[in-house]
Structure 1
């Protein structure tokens, strides 16, 4: 269940904006990144928030941080990521089957697996 009115009432646009945020996550994982916990890369919520703002994703939302969290929930429900609560943040890793939510809309994502940590600090 989504927290924000935007996610509940603007399903198609919300899915597209979530896909934009997913591409931001993938860009953040490029290059050298500190690896932790069995090869998981570390991305803080703050880093994801700032990168999403720079990409223009959160500009028009009434509660932009809550919308970002809803987008992460959609990614999880769509099989893009899995999250496990850990102290101070969430452990997140790519699922086996990518993009089932988006595939129904004709958007096909790579089958490449990825791993990353999300942590707000």
Structure 2
């Protein structure tokens, strides 16, 4: 006899459904996890998505990643502006000392943002 239980009926039923595709490896991993939890794969996916904090954390990760991507793009634009300053300096022979420090700051900040994006991607 199975330990699995159906969810309680709800008024109006559950008219919404989604189709999820997975590779052979992903499907095998889902089946193993579902069996360990004594659930069906759809129930496992539903419960995981609805678990307290899990969906919220996923949304937060997406929002943080989007914000960091926007900042990285801004940094690229700043880097482009710095390149234009360098081009001007090469043409005129005038390159202020603070411009060199600004270039280094842009590079350090861009590297930190890229590291943060990589860390988020590995969560």
TM band (smaller chain): under 0.3
TM-score by length of 2: 0.25
Structure with greater Cα Rg: 2
TM-score by length of 1: 0.26
Higher relative contact order (CA 8 A, sep 6+): 1
